[in-house]
Structure 1
Amino acid sequence: MSAHPPIVVTGTGMVTPAGTGTDATWRAVLDGRTLAGSVRPADMPGRHCLSVPAFGRELLPGRGTAHLDPFIRYALVAVDEAVAASGHDSRSWEGHRVGIVVGCGLGGISTTSDAQTRLTERGADTVSPYLHPRSLINMAAGTLAIRHHVTGPSHTVVAACASGAVAIGVARDLLRAGTCDTVVVCGTDAGVVPVVAAGFAAMGALSDSFAADASRPFASDRSGFVLSEGAAALVMEREDSARDREAPVVGRVLGYAATTDAHHPVQPHPDGSGAEAAVRAALADAGLGTGDVEHVNAHGTSTPFNDRIEGRLIDRLFPHRPSVTANKGVLGHTLGAAGAIEAVLALRALRTGLVPPTAHTSSVDGELPAIDLVVGEARRQRHSVALSTSLGFGGANCALVLGA
């Protein structure tokens, strides 16, 4: 095992189209539930998207929170839950020893899009002075710092759809280096916005199905991803610090690595070499080998190209056929939040001994290798090591090795 001090997760929080709270999302994913979507015919003809259910002061109290961009609001709710679950009281912790790392792909795109419409239709004088405080990509981290009295380092990681996973790795490094005693991590994005959907549709990345079960990772009839939104948060600490305060331990971050394909602006390398390098490096970081991986939480976007490359990679690296699942079947693609959401769900699978099914996938693509994809219903499996993979535009690859 690694000689570095163990890093543990002591609290999690989540906001997704399945609801608010880690438990709500876990139940939906475990059941393989089809979620009600939101279709905006005027703006996104025929496009099925998944939105976070509306919430107000009952979940997000505090002055000025109602008008923040959704990517900040989601982060605040998820972090509030994670901090409370960790047993910390952010009003009294040593703020200079606490850090924040947020992973996000888009920032306040809804706020920016609305401001552009206002500018075009009504003139510059109607643009709000709050445009930038509500839209800059680092403002989730800044707003979290104010809310939770954090005066240590504050970073925002932008690695497209790998952002949330990379944020966990950066937090791990801050703790290993002794820079912080506690790091609050959050992956968040709110991209269910017409211009975002239109861009993905023009690329051919969105599913061409209008159905609620359009997200079908690794399925023979998959046709693209379903655009979604949300946030997940983790409180991370060194194990000795958590033990000293008798904190609950949700799981462990055993290894982390990030690589870059340097191949194409949006397509992963066809042989998966960059992703493979990330997985091997993360396992080496954890002091483990490929044979130690018992479960894989795959990126699994439901796009033909990504799933084929990832399926072949899993088959090549893990001939012992660990169980594989892909949470985007239920949740759609939450972009920069996805890596954090999937890491939290992988930790829950380790803790409960249950692997959620890959929802909506009944017939696995016959051109894929024979990976052990969990379909139909949840599987009971006691395991101690899981791998969570995340891939993003720009050739970003991230692998997290997680432990019970």
Structure 2
Amino acid sequence: MFQQSQHAGAVGIQFSASVSALGKTAQDVRYALTQTSSCLTQRDDLLLDQSCLVGAYHQDLTAIEIKADLQQIDSRNLRLAIHALQQIEAQIHDYTQAFPRHRLAIVVGTSTSGIADNEQALKAHFCGQSEQRIAHEKQEMNALAQGLQRYLNWDGIAYTISTACSSSAKAFAAGQRLLNADLADAVLVGGVDSLCKLTLNGFYSLESLSSGVCQPCGVRRDGINIGEAASLFLLSKRPSAVMLLASGESMDAWHISAPHPEGRGAQQAMQKALDAAGLLAEDIDYLNLHGTATPQNDAMEIKAVRQVFKHQPWLSSTKHQTGHCLGAAGAVEAFICQQVLQDQAWLPLHQAGEIDPELADQRYVEQPDIDQPIRYVMSNSFAFGGSNISLIFGRGDI
């Protein structure tokens, strides 16, 4: 028998993998987040008559073999997921082979699903080409969980969460609940989102895209960069080097596309996570901000941080390097937090531009190297409609 974590309900991250603009290995992630040159790339095929900076993953995915039962839902989104999964597939197979297939669950988050693969067909359809077939199956939200379940040949609970930018963070919370309710022996959680014209043009219409590399909490911040990523984790009750301790969720429902201006929902989510983990605010050593670089989001998040934390933990946003990965944002940032806890040697740099004087009273990470232990970290994800969640991760040997 294994020894349970001292934090009630904590679950272990047994294996993890992530692909994004940062790269595909833990070493890639550390290098990208501890230097100032940008990981974003210029694209001129996503907005009409205008280029934009995005967090793109550049490795070719066309060589991935798609089994016959997945071809109907084949998409770049699913291929990103499989590409990440293949890095840990053998370990997952070995770890789960003793469990019944119906006890192996999947909960993943996305906001785009396979819509990018249908954009040309939809354009043709709306231009009157009625013979053009649109494969709706690949853009259904549950195509991601369904595809991963078929790929792994599992038979347990499998579903997709789509709550915009909090989707994949909520997948962690849901997976933890399944384990603690004894509805599964292991749960694959995470999130995947791929670049598509729908989201780029949607944020452009909201005047929320940055004119350059985004500047979270910066004095000249003017919006976000969109990114793509796939980050997957196998959770179980067995302790591991890094544990998911707890989550805190709130719904402030202030506005369809704007957060509560005083950060009420964000503050509630962070405090609920602390309470669920049995921690005090001063126990948190590093806070990964949601940090989108929009004027309203950053202002409200720092207001919420001030309400919760009096000791000023180290904090930074990583979206100036990954782009905002939407439904995958919570998962890719969880992967970053996991690496920080494992390595105990570095923290992700905050953007290097001038900080807004009204937000400058915080302890932003300006140098990556650290000489103090990092025991507990928190990661924030806040979504349209006020769907908020904070995750707390900790070292398994505490």
- Per the TM superposition, whether the score is higher than 0.5 is yes
Which of 191, 204, 207 in structure 2 is aligned with 1:204? 207
Counterpart in the other structure of 2:218: 219
Paired position in structure 2 for 1:26: 30
Aligned amino acid, residue 392 of structure 1: A
Alignment of 1:124 onto 2:123: no
3-state SS of 2:52 partner: coil
Aligned length: 388
- Which residue among 78, 94, 99 is the counterpart of 1:72? 78
**Conservation of the 8 A alpha-carbon contact between 2:61 and 2:79:** no
Deviation at 1:99, TM superposition (A): 0.3
Cα distance change of structure 1 residues 52 and 329 upon mapping to structure 2, 3 Å threshold? same
CA distance in 2 between counterparts of 1:123 and 1:150 reads 40
Residue of 158, 168, 171 corresponding to 2:172:
168
TM-score, structure 2 as length reference: 0.91
Query: Are 1:330 and 2:335 an aligned pair?
Result: no
User: Given the superposition, is the C-alpha separation of residues 27 and 360 from structure 1 closer, same or farther in structure 2, using an over 3 Å criterion?
Assistant: same
Matched, 1:269 2:221: no
Whether 1:347 aligns to 2:338 is yes
- AA paired with 1:198? N
Q: Equivalences for 1:132-147 in 2 at 5 Å?
A: 132-147=136-151
1:1-400 superposed matches below 5 A = 4-40=8-44, 43-44=47-48, 45-56=50-61, 60-63=64-67, 68-85=74-91, 88=94, 93-121=99-127, 123-128=129-134, 131-190=135-194, 192-209=195-212, 214-239=213-238, 249-400=240-391
Cα offset for 1:289?
1.5
Question: Structure 1 residues 304, 80: CA separation in 2 closer, same or farther (over 3 Å shift)?
Answer: same
Deviations 1:119-171 (A, max 9, x none): 2346232215xx12311111010010011111010121111101110110000
Distance, in Å, in 2 between the alignment partners of 1:97 and 1:231 is 24
The amino acid that maps onto 1:395 is: G
* Residue 256 of structure 1: how far off its partner (Å): 0.8
Where does structure 1 differ by over 6 angstroms across 4 or more consecutive aligned residues? none
Q: Which residue of 2 aligns with 1:246?
A: none
Over 3 Å counting, the alpha-carbon distance change for 1:37 and 1:168 in structure 2 is: same
Q: 1:82 to 1:380 in 2, by over 3 A?
A: farther
Any stretches of 5+ residues in structure 2 without a counterpart? none
Give the C-alpha shift of residue 327 in structure 1: 1.1
Q: Helix, strand or coil: the match of 1:219? A: coil
Per the TM alignment, residue 375 of structure 1 is displaced from its structure 2 partner at its CA by 2.2
Task: Provide closer, same or farther for how the CA distance between residues 15 and 362 of structure 1 changes in structure 2, counting only shifts above 3 A.
Answer: same
Mapped partners of 2:266, 2:183: distance in 1 = 29
In the TM superposition, residue 36 of structure 1 has moved relative to its aligned partner by: 4.5
In 2, the alpha carbon distance for the partners of 1:91 and 1:350 equals 28
**2:321 partner SS:** helix
Q: TM-score, normalised to structure 1's length? A: 0.89
| Letter matched to residue 215 of structure 1 | C
Superposition RMSD in Å: 2.3
Superposition deviation, residue 73 in structure 1: 1.2
TM-superposed deviation, 1:358? 3.2
C-alpha displacement of 1:42: 7.5
In the aligned structure 2, how far is the partner of 1:120 from the partner of 1:279?
A: 44
Equivalents in 2 of 1:25, 1:3: separation in Å? 28
The 1:310–1:198 alpha-carbon spacing in structure 2 relative to 1, beyond 3 Å, is same
Q: Deviations over 1:343-400 (max 9, x none)?
A: 1111111111134343532321111151101025444441111111100001110011
Q: Partner letter of residue 220 of structure 1?
A: V
Q: Is this contact kept in 2: 1:357–1:378, CA < 8 A?
A: no
Which SS does the other structure have where 1:40 is aligned? strand
Distance 1:336 1:169 in 2: 14
Q: Distance in 2 between matches of 1:41 and 1:119?
A: 20
Residue 314 of structure 1: how far off its partner (Å): 1.5
Q: Distance in 2 between matches of 1:355 and 1:86?
A: 28
Distance in structure 1 (CA, Å) of the matches to 2:116 and 2:144? 14
* Bigger Cα displacement from structure 2, 335-344 vs 362-371: 362-371
- How far apart in 1 are the matches of 2:315 and 2:46? 38
CA distance in 1 between counterparts of 2:327 and 2:46 reads 26
Q: Percent identity?
A: 26
Q: Secondary structure of the equivalent of 2:274?
A: helix
Q: Report Cα offsets for 1:45-70 as digits up to 9, x if no partner.
A: 13222211132366x33436798222
> Which AA in structure 1 matches 2:77?
F
**Separation in 1, partners of 2:34, 2:154:** 34
Question: Bigger shift: 75-84 or 103-112?
Answer: 75-84
Aligned amino acid, residue 200 of structure 1 = F
Give SS of 2:390's match.
strand
C-alpha displacement of 1:303: 1.2
